[in-house]
Amino acid sequence: MLTVDFTRFPLAAGDRVLDLGCGAGRHAFECYRRGAQVVALDRNGEEIREVAKWFAAMKEAGEAPEGATATAMEGDALNLPFPDDSFDVVIISEVMEHIPDDKGVLAEMVRVLKPGGRIAITVPRYGPEKVCWTLSDAYHEVEGGHIRIYKADQLLARIREAGLKPYGTHHAHALHSPYWWLKCAFGVDNDKALPVRAYHKLLVWDIMKKPLATRVAEQLLNPVVGKSFVAYATKPHLPKAEA
The one-digit pLDDT tens for each residue of the chain (243 residues) are 899 999 999 999 999 999 999 999 999 999 999 999 999 999 999 999 999 999 999 999 999 999 999 999 999 999 999 999 999 999 999 999 999 999 999 999 999 999 999 999 999 999 999 999 999 999 998 888 999 999 999 999 999 999 999 999 999 999 999 999 999 999 999 999 999 999 999 999 999 999 999 999 999 999 999 999 999 999 998 765 554
Q: What is the pLDDT of residues 191-207, one digit of tens each?
A: 999 999 999 999 999 99
- Total-model pTM: 0.94
Q: What are phi and psi of 7, to 5 degrees?
A: -75, -25
Confidence at residue 52, expressed as pLDDT on a 0 to 100 scale: 98
CA distance 227 to 236: 29
Q: What are phi and psi of 25, to 5 degrees?
A: 100, 15
CA distances from 144 to 60, 64, 148, 151 (A): 34, 33, 12, 20
CA distance 189 to 133: 15
Confidence at residue 116, expressed as pLDDT on a 0 to 100 scale: 97
Count how many Cα atoms sit within 13 Å of the Cα of residue 152 in the half-sphere of its side chain.
16
Confidence at residue 144, expressed as pLDDT on a 0 to 100 scale: 86
Confidence at residue 243, expressed as pLDDT on a 0 to 100 scale: 46
Q: Is the dihedral of CA 222, 136, 126, 89 positive or negative?
A: negative
CA distance 30 to 32: 5
CA distance 201 to 209: 12
Instruction: Give the three-class secondary structure for 119.
Output: strand
The residues near 49 (Cβ < 8 Å, ≥ 6 apart) are: 72
